[in-house]
Chain A
Amino acid sequence: MSNTINGSDVRKVVIACDAGMGSSALLKTQLAQSLKPYGVTVEHTAVNAIPIDADVVVTQAGLAGRARKSAPDTPVVTFQMFLGDPAFTKLEAAIRDGADIDG
């Protein structure tokens, strides 16, 4: 069920939300800025339209099931809070340090 990728192999992070126009759009710029130094691009989509070249999917916990169904071979990182959730800093640290990302 769970997928793993090493942070150093991540090139594209996709933020998925229900419609792809609200919460994922809200988070996109900040995550893109924090991951840019590591050569990682960030896109945002609707949860049912996750691109196959996504290395990691980021989504709110309530959508995790749909995200895993949509991208069954990709680690799905979940968060509870839009502002200041530790999941974002943990993801950045894993990419920076080349640690495994499970989800």
Chain B
Amino acid sequence: MTAERLRLSAEAVRLGAAAADKADAIDQCGRLLLELGAVEEGYLPAMHEREHTIATYIGEGVAIPHGTNEARSLVRRTALAVVQFPDGVDWDGSDVRVAIGIAASGEEHIGVLSALATTLSVPEQAALLRTTTSVDAVIQLLTPAPENDPAEPRNEASR
């Protein structure tokens, strides 16, 4: 049995949002995870708690708010929630345009996060993620290459 690989669905992407501040932006990510049925209510405070410990800004205008290790029990299923803030959110002095809420119980999301890392290493693609008005474009930017998907069945013969 292979682990299920996470793919972003259109419902997990919100473009053109606005947030008053970082806490509001984290709440929006958390509520979207809640709407997706990925977490229990109690996961949202854990996201703020985690953020307070050490900020989740990763660069290129992107932050990845998520819960604490202890809050894993409040995760029903692994999911990501992408919320874009075209006007920016002050994230402890960094300007965040995209916040990606993470709820993970396993490893299913590693592929999408590796696609995120790849996207952010190419300035034009990072800019597209921050500014696009196309949900499909976001999904495309966060779709892992097959070889970066750890749950992909290994096929050594195909190399």
Measuring CB to CB, which residues of chain A are less than 8 angstroms from any residue of chain B? 18-23, 25-30, 33, 46, 48-49, 60, 62-63, 81-84
Closest to B58 in A: A82
Residues A83 and B110 in contact, CB atoms below 8 Å apart: no
Residues B113 and A19 in contact, CB atoms below 8 Å apart: no
Number of cross-chain contacts by CB at 8 Å? 74
Say whether B67 faces chain A, with CB atoms less than 8 Å apart.
Answer: yes
Contacts of A23 in B (CB 8 A): 56, 58, 64
Kindly state the interface size class of chain B when it binds its partner.
20 to 34
B37 CB to closest chain A CB (Å) equals: 18
Residues B67 and A28 in contact, CB atoms below 8 Å apart: no
A12 CB to closest chain B CB (Å) equals: 16
Task: Answer whether A83 and B58 are a contact pair too, CB < 8 Å, given A19-B67, A25-B104, A28-B110.
Answer: yes
A76 CB to closest chain B CB (Å) equals: 15
Contacts of A48 in B (CB 8 A): 69
How far does the alpha carbon of A62 sit from the alpha carbon of B52 in the complex, in Å? 12
Say whether B125 faces chain A, with CB atoms less than 8 Å apart.
Answer: no
Residues A46 and B69 in contact, CB atoms below 8 Å apart: yes
Closest to B110 in A: A25
How far does the alpha carbon of A101 sit from the alpha carbon of B104 in the complex, in Å? 32
Residues B109 and A25 in contact, CB atoms below 8 Å apart: yes
Residues B110 and A20 in contact, CB atoms below 8 Å apart: no
Say whether B102 faces chain A, with CB atoms less than 8 Å apart.
Answer: yes
Residues A18 and B114 in contact, CB atoms below 8 Å apart: no
Which candidate, B11-19, B83-91, B116-124, is the interface stretch facing chain A?
B116-124
Say whether B53 faces chain A, with CB atoms less than 8 Å apart.
Answer: yes
Task: Answer whether A81 and B59 are a contact pair too, CB < 8 Å, given A21-B72, A21-B104.
Answer: yes
Residues B117 and A30 in contact, CB atoms below 8 Å apart: yes
How far does the alpha carbon of A25 sit from the alpha carbon of B114 in the complex, in Å? 8
Say whether B68 faces chain A, with CB atoms less than 8 Å apart.
Answer: yes
Say whether B22 faces chain A, with CB atoms less than 8 Å apart.
Answer: no
Contacts of A29 in B (CB 8 A): 110-111, 113-114, 117, 148, 150
Closest to B68 in A: A19
Please encode chain B, from 102 to 136, with 1 for each CB lying within 8 Å of some chain A CB and 0 for all others: 11100101110110111011000000000000000
Say whether B66 faces chain A, with CB atoms less than 8 Å apart.
Answer: yes
